[in-house]
Structure 1
Amino acid sequence: MRLGHIRKNVARGPGVYFILPCTDTLIKVDMRTKTFDMPSQEIFTKDPLIIDVDGVVYYRIHDALLAVTKVTNADSATRLLAKAIVKNTLAAQNLCHIISEREKVARDIQALLDNVTGDWGVKVERVEIKNVKTRVNVVTPGHAMSPPKPVKEASLFLQESPLSLQLRCLKADSAHPSQQYSTIIFSYP
């Protein structure tokens, strides 16, 4: 860039050239495939359950000019966007769907990411959802169940018995002592 304008394919002949400071800017762009681990993030699913999800995103810059001119830092913007899209996409899903359709969910996230980052000159090549962990302890009206064996089984149980989730909320609320009294109303179908 020279004085804020892009200079493409400037052919220089032999000789000595002086580059004045503050007039030319050279920006290196790495065009190789890059990866980043998405750290585990807490997501409140549609079920409603709290899950921790982590993953990996593979991307590369396919148009250096767009990556330099359309966004301040293409790598950082891609990482932040990936975290937001993963969180929003998984929050709209049931846990059972996330577990059973992991590859399809990852492809949907990849398509959403690629749709936005394409304008920045970034191509998202692959999204992998590595771990999905739940934090739910299932409580039934009569007794406490042992922690669920597979996460999918817990999700199915909570879909069939909404009362157990309400009891779990009451148990969690009573675990935090407060100085004021509060009234909690749950509707029972």
Structure 2
Amino acid sequence: MYLLVLFVLIVAFAVAVLAKTIRIVPQARAGIVERFGKYKASLPAGLNVVVPFVDKVRYMIDLREQVVSFPPQPVITEDNLVVSIDTVIYFQVTDPVAATYEIANYIQAVEQLTMTTLRNIVGGMDLEQALTSRDEINNRLRGVLDEATGKWGIRVNRVELKGIDPPPSIKDSMEKQMRADRDKRAAILTAEGQRQSAILTAEGGKQAAILNAEGDRESLILRAQADREARILKAQGEGQAIQTVFQAIHDGRPDQSLLAYQYLQMMPKIAEGSANKVWIVPSEIGKALEGLGSTMNTLSGIPDKVDGPRTRVDMGPAEPDVPMDSALETTHAEVAAAIAAAEASSNLRTPSPSPSSEAAPDPEEPTVQ
């Protein structure tokens, strides 16, 4: 029985010694071994053997990159404004022995160093510069931290400012300033838009007025040319009509009998009109005609009798001579062709009257001998 108890104790002691001898270090870790309270060695990752009851793994250092976020810290700017700045530090332990024995708590040391360095950097800037110079603050802060933590076996890889929060009153003032600036830019853009619109409208009105003036000028010129040609044609027509009447008068060689006949033809027209209700033919109409004839005998230039027609007066060309340009001649030719085509179409559609339907001469029409 005593032998069994002794064997169990020996086995337990052997297991304890084995447990104290074999040390397993995880990947990306480093073990600090002390012998009788003094640094002995650093254990790499994997299976390691130490002297039991003599060597002791005092610290297990993480060699991976670590991220530490520090709470917001009040910082006074150069223009005496208090802002809250919170930071994020990315660092890595490169020397586990220095990180163990050179500093008691390197995370707390990095935090305090970050706070003091940040106050020194931001204290030399005003609020506007601090809000717009984050990259500069990050680079300067990283340089100071990397230099200060080098002897601790720590390398600072990155420093980021999570936020810079000014006081609420400053935020309100900044919002008002930003709103005023945006309103100013909006007013400037609106004014520029209205100016461009007014310029384009004026240019459009100017071009429209020029085109309207040119159109009115061409219209007036064409209308004046048309009026001139119409007056020329009317004058030539009136001249030809006067010449025709004058020639007819000379061809007819009127005498007193013709004048009396014209007087008889005018008498029915005297009775025309809504105001002439009753018209009485005087019995002395014959004497009146004789008196009219005797009166006509005294008119100069109207003989009592004529011997025959005189020589005809040359009335010139039947068509008026109007100066026309090529465009007007083309237009007149097209109008004449259209009139001729219309007349031809009308003649084709209208049947020719029969000989029996011709109008008989009016037996009451007077005949001049």
Same structural fold, with TM-score higher than 0.5 when normalized by the shorter chain: yes
What secondary structure sits across from 1:89 in the alignment? helix
- Return the letter of the residue paired with 2:37: G
Structure 2 gaps of 5+ residues are: 1-33, 44-48, 180-369
Residue in 1 that maps onto 2:113: 81
Identity score, percent: 23
Give the corresponding residue for 2:175.
Answer: 149
Quick check: which has more Rg, 1 or 2?
A: 2
**Do the aligned partners of residues 150 and 111 (structure 1) sit closer, same or farther apart at CA in structure 2, a change above 3 Å counting?**
farther
Aligned to 2:61: 29
1:53–1:150 CA distance, 2 compared to 1 (3 A): farther
Task: Using structure 1 for the length normalisation, give the TM-score.
Answer: 0.65
| Residue identity in the other structure for 1:130 | K
Post-superposition Cα deviations, 1:91-138, rounded to whole Å, max 9, x if no partner, equal 222222222221111110010011110010011110101211111636
TM-score by length of 2: 0.35
C-alpha distance in structure 2 between counterparts of 1:18 and 1:59, whole Å: 33
* CA distance in 2: counterparts of 1:63 and 1:152, whole angstroms: 49
Given that 1:57 and 1:126 are in contact with CA atoms closer than 8 Å, whether structure 2 keeps it comes out as yes
Matched position secondary structure for 2:78 = coil
Point out which structure has higher relative CO (alpha carbons under 8 A, 6+ apart).
Answer: 1
1:59 matched to which residue of 2? 91
1:69 and 1:80, CA in 2 relative to 1: closer, same or farther beyond 3 A? Answer: same
Q: Determine helix, strand or coil for the equivalent of 1:103.
A: helix
**C-alpha RMSD over aligned residues:** 2.7
CA distance in 2: counterparts of 1:25 and 1:45, whole angstroms: 47
Q: Measure how far apart 1:18 and its partner are.
A: 5.5
- Answering whether residue 41 of structure 2 is matched by residue 8 of structure 1, we say yes
2:143 aligned with 1:111, yes or no?
A: yes
- Which of 136, 142, 164 in structure 2 is aligned with 1:132? 164
Q: Partner of 2:227 in structure 1?
A: none
Matches within 5 A, 1:37-52: 37-52=69-84
Q: Is the 8 A contact 1:95 1:152 kept in 2?
A: no
Q: Encode CA deviations 1:40-67: one digit per residue, 9 max, x unaligned.
A: 1111111111111112111111111110
CA deviation after TM superposition for structure 1 residue 81, in Å: 1.7
8 Å Cα contact 1:134-1:151 kept in structure 2 = no
> Contact 1:34–1:58 at 8 Å: present in 2 too?
yes
Match of 1:95 in 2: 127
> What CA deviation, in whole Å up to 9, does each residue of 1:5-52 have, x standing for no partner?
322368xxxxx965227x634210001111111211111111111111
On the 8 A contact 1:49/1:95 being kept in 2, the answer is: yes
SS in 1 for 2:41: coil
- 1:99, 1:152 within 8 Å by CA — same for their partners in 2? no
Aligned equivalents of 2:89, 2:177: Cα separation in 1:
24
How far, CA to CA, are the matches of 2:178 and 2:99 in structure 1?
41
Kindly indicate which of the two structures has a greater share of residues assigned to helix.
2
Relative distance call for 1:61 and 1:128 in structure 2 (3 A) is same
For residue 137 of structure 1, give the secondary structure of its aligned residue in structure 2. Answer: helix
Select which of 53, 56, 63 maps to 1:20: 53
Gaps of 5+ in 1: 11-15, 139-145, 154-189
Q: How many residues align?
A: 140
